[in-house]
Amino acid sequence: DTGVSQDPRHKITKRGQNVTFRCDPISEHNRLYWYRQTLGQGPEFLTYFQNEAQLEKSRLLSDRFSAERPKGSFSTLEIQRTEQGDSAMYLCASSRLAGGPGTGTQYFGPGTRLTVL
């Protein structure tokens, strides 16, 4: 396994701009999760995918946020009309649904740090 990767690692944008982040999960992991972590807090769940299907979205995910996982591989998280309150670390994690060692364990990427000016 090469691990979960995220791109970019850092993003600075101006309020009102749109941003998109990418997550590449560990290959063959069925599930992919997005979390948001603000300073001094633990990560909070945003949404998750099982293969290409988005199965749950947190109430934290406003209409300005959209996530996709086409073909059940990489995922993107887009934030439209960014606000200063969107400044946070956005974390991606993936896990194997069933079968094999580590089933269900979530492996995290390094995160994308978003700063909205």
Residues that bind another protein (CB under 8 A): 4, 31, 33, 35, 40-45, 48, 55-56, 91, 93, 95, 104-111
Please, which residue, 93 or 116, has the CB nearer to another protein? 93
Which segments within the chain are labelled E, that is strand? 5-7, 10-13, 19-24, 31-37, 44-50, 53-57, 65-68, 75-79, 88-95, 107-108, 112-116
The bridge status of strand 65-68 relative to strand 75-79 is antiparallel
Please, which residue, 17 or 41, has the CB nearer to another protein? 41
Residue bearing tokens 């995918």: 49
Please, which residue, 45 or 73, has the CB nearer to another protein? 45
Please, which residue, 79 or 92, has the CB nearer to another protein? 92
Tokens of 24: 């590449």
Minimum distance between the CB of residue 77 and another protein, rounded to whole angstroms?
16
Minimum distance between the CB of residue 100 and another protein, rounded to whole angstroms?
15
Minimum distance between the CB of residue 19 and another protein, rounded to whole angstroms?
19
